[in-house]
Amino acid sequence: MNTLPHNKAEQPIRSIDSQALLAGQKLITIQHGLHQYVLRLTKENKLILTK
Q: What is the pLDDT of residue 7?
A: 61
Write down the domain spans for the chain: 24-51
Residue pLDDT, tens place only, 1-44: 566 666 667 889 999 999 999 999 999 999 999 999 999 999 99
Of 41, 39, 43, 42, residue with least CA distance to 51: 39
**Rounded distance, CA 24 to CA 5, Å?**
29
Q: What is the pLDDT of residue 2?
A: 66
